Chains A and B, each alone.
Chain A
Amino acid sequence: MPEKEVVLTVLFFAKAKDLSGTVQSTITLKSPIDYSSLLNTVVNQFNLNPLRHSLILALNEEYLEDSQQVLDLNNNDCLAIIPPISGGTYLINTIKVPY
């Protein structure tokens, strides 16, 4: 796989948004790249160190589950920074419908 430079769109959510001070940015990377290098680059460039050990990356709306994998990136790929998520509420009201 030939080495090339790619420009990614980076999206920030929740706490990552607060830390980076922006919702969206771009980053120039060399592809292919392994997960930990990608994480390091993003964390260092966008000041995300407090989230270093809890954030997950999502590439093109897919979670990157495997931390060992080597990623083949393309221009305009979308990288999302996913801090610990908290969808919904803690109290779940299960409405029981009578049958």
Chain B
Amino acid sequence: MALKVFKDICNNLRETWPDIVNVAIYHRLGNVPVSEASVVIAISSPHRQTALSAVEHAINKLKEMAPIWKKEEYAPGTHTDAQWKENSELPPPKQEHLSELDPSMIQINSSHEEVFSNIKAFMAYRKKMNNKDNMKTYCLRKAEERPEYSCCRVDAVGRRVISTQAEIQYRKEHYDETPGTDCNSNSGKTKTKRSASSKEASSRQLIQGQCRQSNTTGSDSPDTQRYLLKQSTTTPVTHDDPNIPFGISERLSLIEHHVGIKPSGPNGDLYVRLKQIEDKIIQIEDDCEEYLRQKNYFRKYEPLSNLTCPVISSHDRKPQHVKPRVFSIEDIDEKLMYLKSQLSLAGNDDQSGDSDS
């Protein structure tokens, strides 16, 4: 069969390079000592270019096709068994019928043992890396100081997290119903049922209060103002609702834009829009544990006892300087309850016979 392959190679050569004169392929069999050649290919042609490229092609083809094997035998005492060698030119192995398989399935050609040993090795590697990581994170020791039987479970040192760079890892639990969302949605709904006049009045009051508050929290630095100005040119801000002052509508739109809520439109119910923002805050809090930790840290040192809207009389325009505060959902709930009670009072004043209040 090898000779047949040689013959094929010869024919192939003569087809490719018609000016070849003679071809000789000689392959040695039996023992071939180290450093001796085992194959000779000689090709003659009128010009050297033909012969050189033909020889190269011939040897590559021979290595790929000719069924000749080589077994390397090593000197006694090297502890290596004789091995059959493989070419890199080895033809691609026959594939199974891939087209008939479900494309969502994976076909594994390796043997059962191989797959399992791979999985085992991978698991061991991950475990090792995890251990190493945990040791680095929780055990405040240098590698060389660690006793042999130390591990992060018995050797961990807790770190207090003050900055946003959290070092301690947490487990995050997902609940379908976040406590607080129900309450919020209820209050939102009840508010939308109120009469239009009182609703708008109170909403304006609320937002004005918030505006002042945000003014006093130092957000009106020149940079922020410039940013807001720039933003307002890019975001569509309209103020069709005559009952909402332009500034409030704009700010609300900007907030919605900033936190990534698709605005329900400038004419949308203010309470619906506020509800959306609240929902977004809840979502952000749930997603970002670092934020929660930071919030709890601030809470510890600056209890938010007075959460009522700062009522500032119209002539008192001078902004107060207050430290920035972070509000939790409970705080917002509290505030909403407060506003609700205010609203019902206002509703009583406006419509004394309202059975709803």
By the criterion of a CB under 8 Å from any partner CB, how many residues of chain B are at the interface? 34
Query: Is A73 on the interface with B (CB-CB < 8 A)?
Result: no
The size bracket of the interface on A is 20 to 34
Query: Is A68 on the interface with B (CB-CB < 8 A)?
Result: yes
Shortest CB-to-CB span from A63 to chain B, Å, is 8
Beyond A49-B111, A53-B109, whether A85 also contacts B90 by CB under 8 A is: yes
Whether the pair A89, B38 counts as a contact (CB closer than 8 A) is yes
Interface of A, secondary structure class, is loop
Set of chain A residues within 8 Å of B84, measured between Cβ atoms? 14-15, 18, 83-84, 86
Query: Is A58 on the interface with B (CB-CB < 8 A)?
Result: yes
Query: Is B354 on the interface with A (CB-CB < 8 A)?
Result: no
Interface of B, secondary structure class, is loop
Shortest CB-to-CB span from B176 to chain A, Å, is 48
Point out the residue from B55, B91, B93, B97 that lies within 8 Å of A53, measured CB to CB: B93
Q: Which of B31-87 contact A (CB under 8 A)?
A: 32, 37-39, 48, 55, 59, 62-71, 84-87
Whether the pair A85, B67 counts as a contact (CB closer than 8 A) is yes
Whether the pair B96, A36 counts as a contact (CB closer than 8 A) is yes
Shortest CB-to-CB span from A97 to chain B, Å, is 9
Please list the residues of chain A having a beta carbon within 8 angstroms of any beta carbon in chain B: 13-15, 18, 35-36, 39, 49, 53-56, 58, 61, 63, 67-68, 80, 82-89, 92-94, 99
Q: Beyond the given A84-B84, A84-B87, could you list 6 further A-B residue pairs with CB under 8 A, ordered by the A residue number?
A: A56-B93, A80-B67, A84-B90, A85-B65, A85-B68, A89-B38
